[in-house]
Amino acid sequence: MHIDLPEKRYYKIGEVAKAFEVNASLIRFWETEFDIIKPKKNAKGNRLFTADDISNFKLIFNLVKERGFTLEGAKQKLKKNPESTINNFEIIAKLEGVKAELTKIKNQL
């Protein structure tokens, strides 16, 4: 899944929800369920997500929405072997990027 967010230091919850095509309530729920999501909060209490948070959302989204893990299953996978899970996700994301580029080149021929 390609997430379209401009490079910024912090992202508001609405921007994150729109990029992942989910409701803001799901973002808030995942924040409470997964301790790897740790947004900052401004003086008003609004959540401000970092690029690391976005990377973690991508990982959770992949496990839950794309690979069909339950929330408990995703938590266990992240807890049991976090580095392997993250590395595998990054490799898959890079391969999908290469595939997209090759498809683009093919379509231009």
Q: What CATH number does the domain containing 20 carry?
A: 1.10.1660.10
Q: Is 96 within 8 Å of 58 (Cβ atoms)? A: no
- What is the SS3 assignment for 11? strand
Task: Give the percent of the chain with pLDDT over 70.
Answer: 85
Per-residue confidence (pLDDT) for residue 84, from 0 to 100? 63
Domain assignment present for residue 78? The answer is: yes
Domain assignment present for residue 84? The answer is: yes
Per-residue confidence (pLDDT) for residue 97, from 0 to 100? 74
Report yes or no on whether pTM surpasses 0.75: no
- What pLDDT digit, counting tens, does each position of 41-84 carry? 999 999 999 998 998 898 899 889 988 999 999 988 888 766 66
The residues near 10 (Cβ < 8 Å, ≥ 6 apart) are: 40, 48, 49, 50
Domain assignment present for residue 17? The answer is: yes
**In angstroms, rounded to a whole number, what is the distance separating the alpha carbons of residues 95 and 56?**
19
Task: Give the percent of the chain with pLDDT over 90.
Answer: 44
Domain assignment present for residue 76? The answer is: yes
pLDDT at 14 over 80: yes
How many domains does the structure of the chain reveal?
Answer: 1
Domain assignment present for residue 2? The answer is: no
Domain assignment present for residue 5? The answer is: no
Residue 102: give the domain boundaries: 11-108
